[in-house]
A and B are shown apart, each in its own frame.
Chain A
């Protein structure tokens, strides 16, 4: 059985009256790509800051690699790499100097450090930009530099706090591929994001946070099983009459029907051939329709069903 890398028990963090993290529990195993998903302000970054001992917390226990995490546990900090939401580099240093500096905060041996820095530069594909200063880099390249600075010392646990904010799709894919590669090399990953697609794409296990609470935890499949919805059929059509909507509601496995922005949404729970039955009703009533989609539930559906609001409400 894999070792526990991170263990958070009953974590509570308050900012005066506001409870930012509310009795939060979490256990992350070695080799996992663990996703911490939640809307902005749900407590993800606060949890990470408590985990890293950057913030004092009111209650709870945090252990990393079986040791209690404290601000002065430097041996433990050496095994952790952090990539923050904001690009954290020195504008006055070149790409190489930046990576070398941050690597040097962990690795004192010059030869080893040079090797690690070269490897990090290669890993993020910045070989052609080593002498560039950060201001000369594009947003995507800057993010890659940010990642290189966080992973150059070869940490066993890498924490990425929304590393793809304001990044173009091409760079985003490259970053996500890189994270999976780091995981393949043996690193345990904690990935926080409010982009459910990214979390679905790379994370083996996910915790969904809302208002500082861990509202759901499991693999993608486990999370989706928690909810009633198994299929959502959406059809582009004119507003149907109430009788049609009623007829659709009476179909087997259909538990909800709604009409929004020129689209008819039919929510199904279990069963097979739901789409054929739904289209059959529309044809029978001689209703014309355009494009038809049949979608499996997403993490947004999970979040919606549990909290009653969209994951991206706050965006």
Chain B
């Protein structure tokens, strides 16, 4: 068991770098969990700019109504200035109550009551449109019931001021599942960083030419050296994976249920990819400094290109086409399906295909490292 023990003696010197990556991973998780809270409700207020060109009782009542639930921002009625204000979101929506508003409304006409300006489609524009439509239709509804305009406006204002209390009820462990989804989403970065930065230098140290020469001269069987190295590497990687899973359980509680087991399986497949990358770097004899750089480039590169740090939906088709050639893309794709993070619906065959692609990536990278090893021997 000399070689087995040697592996762990050498790996002791790498725990610090792994702790650093655990720290970074925890920070990422904490940050995303805080920003991802979505179980509270508050009425959102829009910044509106209103120009009353009609200046009648009805138009002033509309202004009062809009003031209740929104913030009214005054700007000079200058087109350039308004475009600037909309651009920097000092105001979300500009409403001009056209002349003749009261007359048209009293006749039940709805066309040409307002002119509106906004910069681009967003939920605030839709909400503002909807607020005006609802107001006008409610007034119209009361007038259709026989009320005069002034009374209909009062009644509509009163009816629309009714508030509804909103509370979120959870009937499942959806909250802990969404946290688990976030955990599995960022997991590849931690797995890659920890495994590559810790496993690769240990293998490099163990494969050093000079000590390899001494080991070959000794009475220990070559097969025994290989078996012990493989066993130690496997246990080492399993320990890293278990540490990360324990972190997930510690932070999110019982996250392993239902489909989440596929997320666990997905993480195992990506772990294989990380091991293969670490072995390839080790065969290439990457130095400690270069390794640190490469780990960052790979980890962060895949995180941004493959949809870990940025949702896949927001990535351009060009980026996604490139990302397909990276194993993390398939991890994220499967994870999005399992955790319901993306727009794609869960489909077991697709999830298994994504996991299979990752295993193929691992096998291909491992094959390359074997070729490198053979080439080095031949030199």
Contact = CB atoms under 8 A, between A and B. Distances in A.
B9 interface: yes
A101 B218 CA distance: 11
B214 A88 contact: yes
Interface stretch (A90-98, A236-244, A289-297, A301-309): A90-98
Interface in B306-323: none
A88 B10 contact: no
A52 B219 CA distance: 11
B6 A88 contact: no
Given A86-B210, A89-B211, A91-B205, A80 B217 contact: yes
Nearest to B220: A105
A87 to B, nearest CB: 7
B81 interface: no
Contacts of B221: 72, 74
A91 B216 CA distance: 19
B343 interface: no
Interface in B277-317: none
B219 A106 contact: yes
A149 B214 contact: yes
B131 interface: no
Nearest to A161: B213
B17 interface: no
Q: Binding site of A, secondary structure by majority: helix, strand, loop or mixed?
A: loop
Contacts of A52: 216-217
A276 interface: no
B9 A105 contact: no
A78 interface: yes
A86 B210 CA distance: 7
Band of interface residues on A: 20 to 34
A77 B217 contact: yes
B282 to A, nearest CB: 15
Contacts of A74: 219-221
A102 B210 contact: no
Interface in B1-17: 2, 6, 9-10, 12-13
Given A74-B219, A75-B219, A90-B6, A82 B214 contact: yes
A106 B219 CA distance: 6
Interface in A61-118: 71-72, 74-75, 77-78, 80, 82, 84, 86-93, 97, 101-102, 104-106
A150 interface: yes
Contact of B218 (A72, A84, A90, A105): A105
Choose among B2, B208, B222 the residue with the greatest number of A CB atoms under 10 Å from its CB: B2
Contacts of A71: 222
A92 B214 contact: no
A54 interface: yes
B32 interface: no
B217 A54 contact: yes
A12 B321 CA distance: 57
Contact of A87 (B205, B210, B219): B210
24 contacts: A54-B213, A72-B221, A74-B219, A77-B217, A80-B217, A82-B217, A84-B213, A88-B210, A88-B214, A89-B210, A89-B211, A90-B10, A90-B208, A92-B10, A92-B205, A93-B9, A93-B10, A101-B6, A101-B9, A105-B2, A105-B218, A105-B220, A106-B218, A106-B220
5 smallest beta-carbon distances between A and B, as pairs:
A88-B210, A105-B218, A78-B219, A104-B2, A82-B217
Interface of A: 52, 54, 71-72, 74-75, 77-78, 80, 82, 84, 86-93, 97, 101-102, 104-106, 149-150
